[in-house]
Amino acid sequence: MNSKLEKKENNIEKSFLSVLITTFTTIFIAELGDKTQIATLMLSAESGKPIIVFLGSSLALISSSVVGVLIGKWLSKKISPSNFSLFTGVLMMIISIFLAYDAFKNFS
């Protein structure tokens, strides 16, 4: 009985760590060099108060993440995971095609 309980706790811990590490890595890489980071850099340099800028930008990122999590939770109840994956894949392809078209249009 104890071994089943230990296995269940290990699976929960692995699942928690797996989701945490995947989320952190994905968001960290996605946020590197984006306009939010550049705005934070400029605000910190302009104000000369990096701690306050850090706190403000952290609260803003947390707030926007809460919105994303809540919408994601709501969507998970309305749409099956396979349909959601298909929809997000198609949406990403459309955005990529639009960005590529815009880049080539401006390049020529």
Tell me the C-alpha distance between 76 and 69, whole Å. 10
> 12-45 pLDDT, tens per residue?
667 888 889 998 998 888 888 888 889 999 999 9
Q: Domains of the chain: which residue ranges? A: 49-107
CA 35 remoteness from chain centre: 15
Confidence at residue 103, expressed as pLDDT on a 0 to 100 scale: 85
Helix (H, G, I), strand (E, B) or coil at 80: coil
> 73-85 pLDDT, tens per residue?
998 899 998 998 8
Task: Please compute the mean of the pLDDT values over residues 47-67 and round it to a whole number.
Answer: 95
Contact at 8 Å (CB) between 36 and 54? no
Whole-prediction pTM: 0.61
